A and B are shown apart, each in its own frame.
Chain A
Amino acid sequence: MIAPIKPDLVTVNVDGREIAVPKGTNMIEAARLAGVDVPHFCYHPKLTVSGNCRMCLVETGVPAVDPATKAPVIDPGTGRQKINWSPRPAIACATNASPGLHIRTTTPLVKDCREGVMEFLLVNHPLDCPICDQAGECKLQEQATGYGRGTSRYIEEKNVKPKRTQLGSRVTLDDERCILCSRCIRFCREIAHDDVLGFVDRGSHSTLTCYPGRSLENNYSLNTVDICPVGALTSTDFRFKMRVWFLKQTDSIDTESSAGVNTVVWSREGVIHRITPRRNDEVNDTWMADSGRIAYKAVRSEGRLTAARVAGRDGSTGEALAAAAELFREGGVAVVGSGRSSVEEQFLTRRLAESLKARAWLVSRVGQSDKLLVSADRNPNVRGALVTGLVGELPQKTLGELSAAIDSGAVRTVVSVGEDLLCAGISLVQLGRVKVVYLGTHRDATSEAARIVLPALTVFEKAGSFVNQQFRIQKFAAAVPGPAGVQDDLETLSALIRAAGGPDLPSAVGPLWAVMAPQVPALGAVQHGTIPATGLLLDSSPWAGLPFVEGESLHHKPAR
């Protein structure tokens, strides 16, 4: 006898196993919870159900009741309630869990259905896996292997469709490979709100295309590539670059805004080839903006700083640190932290400012929010600076007070952690008046003017954590090694603290957290290792009154 355990849970039976699932769960998800894989193409957990691929056909049945008495009908053979199996299969994606629903996924009927669907999908599929970028992460490949017949009976001519259509500047379409699942169409309509894609023609001539005169140019277009189950939509940037099976996946965080989109960095032998979103239902679901996917290009771009410089000449890191120690002894130092530094770096920046008895500043970057996954605050970690106590209030766009202090001569040395002071309202004349110690990844106006330049790592080359707009602390790992001779930013910062006469602090993430967490109230007992992959919400109440710039976006509603 099946009885609901809780009002909002219903118990269903998948291949003889009973499992309680939330009401409204479809049978693909229910089966997933039961550990049973129901193959599918068109269904996507974050999109509406269209039910057009027919791959998820399963047998369904409901417990039999006597029509007259509503009493359960008991099967005399087993002594249990009889199940009325439907003679026809049903698609699991559009079948929601109802009390006592039974599904079977291993019967000959289901097997036949899957083989039939696969055979028809492959009828017009070009089978150009050798040149297809999807190979290796292709649903069609996987399910042809898992559920297909293995051999083809099709001897007729295959359809010919356009092979290299540029849907937009970033997406290339191969219509021959398309299996008409409509995931991309639904994404553009429902998530990106840019309804440009659709099918034209009928039957086997159906073709995916853009609305005439439009193209797929929205900032989320590459998500259609991610969700395309086959190789029909491919990224123009990643096209023919590398096979996915060679790529190492490293969990990372998108730094383009405070949304804190979870990402996967795909690299091979120290070279990053692409960035894709990582599912986090609390932050970005399975999406990310196109603008965040090209961030990896900075790693190997022109103008990367790879060696320390002292007074315009290349020197060793040791020389640079010694020169910095000398500057620090002269006093009159100001520290400009960064909202793009990790929590750990911001903590060390705070300790550096404390050791120098200097004031720490932060520069804000504000842009237009797209109300989805690019928030208005383009610094990924302003809240980290608040949490670690680097600053007590929200950053300003220009450092007016600092520039006044430079003019008055009170500040003679500025330590900038990755911030181009020219963009922060300090003029070139003022830059010439102070001695700048600059930690940066790329050459810019500040690095040119700086007395001491210490090379730094990009987010892909180091580990740490960011606090996003929800006050969710999320960690990222190093995907690739940094350029030869560039030491970790934490090492550089702790060396600077020592140069400033401060304490000897650990420079590895784990040991540093052991020192940092007790000194940062919001972190409490959290350790870097215990932060789950989907992040950890911190207590944001101390900063509830601050006028954060972010507006509403996906999974984030400002308190105001």
Chain B
Amino acid sequence: MAVKILRQKPLSLAEKVYLPQVVAGMRITLKHMFARAQTLQYPEQRPEIPPGYRGVPTLVKDPNGREKCVSCQLCEFVCPPKAIRITPGSVPEGSGRDHVEKAPKAFDIDMLRCIYCGLCQEVCPEEAIFLQNQFSMSGYSRSEMVNDKGRLYEAGGTLPDRHFKWDKKRAAEEAHSPHA
């Protein structure tokens, strides 16, 4: 390993006396006294959320308003702090989405555990879970900090979907149906 010896520069007289340094410092601080404040007045002013920001995880619906999650539980599996808890269930017949077969019966994310790592979003094969812009969450009880399915969809809203995987599947099924 190369060793690099850095020699300290000897102090000049002005530096040794120190007072000129103090004066120089005071000149700088005086300049700053009249500079514009950089503060963001937080609750009124909100920071601009950059794209790709990892806020509170949410569940999203496709543009047709259908839930995208199929409760594959990959997010539950990958979640490092085990914040996600899913109870899988089947899609009821006649709901217009029964060809997807599977949907979460319950979907809880414990925000006291969540570390906002975004692995759930990365692993989701259905692009159903997104860490969106909400960055502050608070509550008066532990149970309040557990986002259930309803709250997750409320926070998630609808995101554009480029794939429409299940709509295509339905279309193919109908095209091949002998009774169609």
Contact = CB atoms under 8 A, between A and B. Distances in A.
Question: A and B touching (C-beta < 8 Å)?
Answer: yes
B77 interface: yes
Given A130-B70, A130-B126, A158 B89 contact: no
SS of B interface (majority): mixed
Q: Interface residue tally of chain A, by bracket? A: 10 to 19
B101 interface: yes
A158 B172 contact: yes
A149 B72 CA distance: 24
Contacts of B100: 131
A131 B172 contact: no
A163 B126 contact: no
Given A131-B70, A135-B72, A163-B99, A240 B173 contact: no
A521 to B, nearest CB: 51
A240 B88 contact: yes
Contacts, number: 45
Interface string B65-99: 00000111110110000000000111000000001
B102 interface: yes
A80 B152 CA distance: 70
Nearest to B89: A240
A126 B172 CA distance: 12
Contact of B88 (A160, A164, A242): A242
B125 A130 contact: yes
Contacts of A241: 88
B90 to A, nearest CB: 5
Given A240-B88, A241-B88, A129 B172 contact: no
B11 interface: no
A202 to B, nearest CB: 17
A130 to B, nearest CB: 4
A242 B87 CA distance: 8
B73 A243 contact: yes
Interface in B104-151: 125-126
Contacts of B71: 240
Q: Interface residue tally of chain B, by bracket? A: 20 to 34
Interface in A47-78: none
Contacts of B173: 160, 163
A152 to B, nearest CB: 15
A157 interface: yes
B80 to A, nearest CB: 15
Contacts of B89: 240
Interface string B28-71: 00000000000000000000000000000000000000000011
B72 A131 contact: yes
A240 B90 contact: yes
Interface string B166-180: 000100110111000
Contacts of A129: 72, 125
B173 to A, nearest CB: 6
Contacts of A163: 99, 101, 173
B73 A131 contact: no
Interface in A14-57: none
Interface string A213-241: 00000000000000000000000000111
Nearest to A172: B101
Nearest to A126: B169
B77 A131 contact: no
B172 A160 contact: yes
A246 B88 contact: no
5 contacts: A129-B125, A131-B100, A163-B173, A241-B88, A243-B77
Interface of A: 126, 129-131, 135, 157-158, 160, 163-164, 239-243, 245-246
Top-5 shortest CB links A-B: A130-B72, A160-B176, A131-B102, A243-B73, A130-B125
